[in-house]
Amino acid sequence: MAFKVAVVGATGNVGREILGILAERGFPASEVVALASNRSRGTEISFGDKILKCKVLDQHDFSDTDICLMSAGGEISKEWAQRIGAQGCVVIDNSSAYRMHAEVPLIVPEVNADAIVGFRKLNIIANPNCSTAQLVVALKPLHDKARIKRVVVATYQSVSGAGKEGMDELFTQTRAVFVSDALETKKFPKRIAFNLIPQIDVFMEDGSTKEEWKMVVETKKILDPKIKLTATCVRVPVFISHSEAVNVEFEDPISAEEAKDILREAPGCLLIDRHEPGGYITPHEAAGEDATYISRVREDPTVENGLSFWCVSDNLRKGAALNAVQIAEVLVNRGLIQAKRKAA
């Protein structure tokens, strides 16, 4: 059975990545339609060995489309997701618009695939925030073993998390430094070249940022509402891949060696942890890869049953595009949807 798939936001970083991953993984698609705004009409985009021409979102009929992968921002999702779902097309949304909606499952397939059945109420499935996705992939197998009480995480998030404009700003500012030009700040609140910015998204009343709040509430929804989590999210001058320094306190005893053995076998995880210079993963090495990489696993002697580790993943892939395609694969592999059009 093959499915008609629409990709909304096809010209963006994540949209292009979705198209690439659909082709790489051989998703059973009878047709793939690239959709974007009117200004991108006719833009040519690669899909495997084919070239797709972008069509306009508000002119597309979703009544014969089976799956819509949306990555065009929260406002577009708020306007379109329920309208598309009402036409019988399952929406997998990469924005924050529906993540905390009571009738929308928030899914990371390696962690809570069984929760996907709740999609039928609105025909919408939410993809988590990029920093949350890699975190819960690493936490899930450890939680199953020793029950997590509390997590303290500091993120080191690449500029691609802010879209093409963020990547362009890092590039132009870096070049300006070397040629002694004036630096322009447009996308970020402060200079990003050769700098760190301890703010991602807007500030909230309690002094945390919305990105930090997302990590708290999404981890609870995906993994366990009893988990206490605090986050500090930092933008760093890296193009692709988010990194996280994670400290975890457990209910039950768990050693570093036990944790390593668990993570070696955990779905979606890849352990690279040698106690030598370079015996760990960096964001540069994780770019373009599917795995959530774990390094620097060690016991924390300052608390009972504590561990610390380093976690890195390509935010455009596992943090967004790959996770969305994996959700679509769960729908297909579990027989949760049927193609509207039968193959000839």
Residue in 54, 130, 233, 311 annotated catalytic: 130
60 is an active site residue = no
277 has pLDDT over 70: yes
The 10 Å Cβ neighbour count of residue 320 is 27
Question: What percentage of the chain exceeds 70 in pLDDT?
Answer: 99
All structural domains of the chain, each given as residue ranges with its CATH number in brackets, are: 3-127+321-334 (3.40.50.720), 131-158+196-313 (3.30.360.10)
Going by the DSSP 8-state scheme, the letter that residue 319 receives in this structure is I
126 has pLDDT over 90: yes
Cα 164 to Cα 226: distance, rounded to the nearest angstrom: 36
Give the mean model confidence (pLDDT) for residues 106-114. 98
Residue in 89, 242, 269, 311 annotated catalytic: 242
Annotated binding-site residue numbers? 11-14, 39-40, 99, 157, 160-161, 235, 315
344 confidence band (pLDDT: 50, 70, 90): very low
Span 23-51, pLDDT tens digits: 999 999 999 999 988 888 989 999 999 99
130 is an active site residue = yes
Annotated binding-site residue numbers for NADP(+)? 11-14, 39-40, 160-161, 315
Span 244-268, pLDDT tens digits: 999 999 999 999 999 999 999 999 9
Tell me the residue ranges of DSSP E strands in the chain. Answer: 3-8, 29-36, 44-47, 50-53, 55-56, 67-70, 90-93, 124-126, 148-157, 228-235, 242-250, 269-271, 292-300, 306-313
> How does 162-196 read in b/e, with b if 16+ C-beta sit within 10 Å?
beeebbebbeebeeeeeeeeeeeeebbeebbbeee
Q: Are strands 124-126 and 90-93 parallel, antiparallel or unpaired?
A: parallel
Element (H, E) at 179: helix 163-179
Annotated binding-site residue numbers for substrate? 157, 235
Give the mean model confidence (pLDDT) for residues 317-332. 97
269 has pLDDT over 60: yes
342 confidence band (pLDDT: 50, 70, 90): low
Span 279-323, pLDDT tens digits: 999 999 999 999 999 999 999 999 999 999 999 999 999 999 999
